Amino acid sequence: MKKTKVLAFGTFDIFHKGHEFYLKEAKKYGDILNVIVARDSTVKEVKGKTPLNNESKRLAKIQSLDYVNMAFLGYEEDKYKIIEEIRPDIICIGYDQQSFNNDLKNTLKERGLNPKIVKFEKGFKPELYKTSKLK
C-alpha cells in the first residue's frame, strides 16, 4: 500500500508550540512527514535578517522530533528542486507563511508535480507563540 507523503517547511528559528502545532497538524494529512528547513541565506533573503540559530542547529532540532520522518535543508540555488526530489502528495503551508504561496501550484505543475496544497487557516495561540514575539 502506498504511503502518503506530506511536506511542510519553515525557518523554525526558535522552535515553539506554534511550530509543534503546525508540524503535528501536517502529520495528520499522511503517513510520512518530510520537513524542509530554510537555509540561512534564504531566511535572510525572505525575512531580511539572519536567523538567531544557524541552519545546522535548526535542522538538528527538527530531525530530533519523533513525529517528523525526515528533515532536509532546502537548496539555495533552486528552492523547488528539493520538492521535486521528495515528490510529496500533500504540501501543508502554515497560516502565516508567505513564501511560495503565490505561484506554488503552477510552478510545481510546470515541473511535473501536482500535490494537494493545504493552507492552514490558523496557528496555535499566535499572540503568544510566534518567533518574532519570542526574540
Q: Can you give the pLDDT at residue 11?
A: 92
Domain ranges, ordered by start, for the chain: 5-134
Q: Can you give the pLDDT at residue 134?
A: 46
Q: Find the Cα–Cα–Cα–Cα dihedral 82, 120, 52, 41, rounded to 10°.
A: 30
User: DSSP class of residue 38?
Assistant: P
What fold characterizes domain 5-134?
Rossmann fold (3.40.50)
Per-residue pLDDT of the chain (135 residues; tens, 9 = 90+): 889 999 999 999 989 988 999 999 999 999 999 999 999 998 888 888 899 999 999 999 999 999 999 999 999 888 899 999 999 999 999 887 766 556 788 889 999 999 999 988 765 555 555 555 444
pTM confidence score: 0.86
Q: Can you give the pLDDT at residue 32?
A: 98
Round to whole Å and give the CA distance between 7 and 26: 8
Q: Can you give the pLDDT at residue 96?
A: 75
Radius of gyration of the chain (CA): 14
Place of cell 500535490: 115
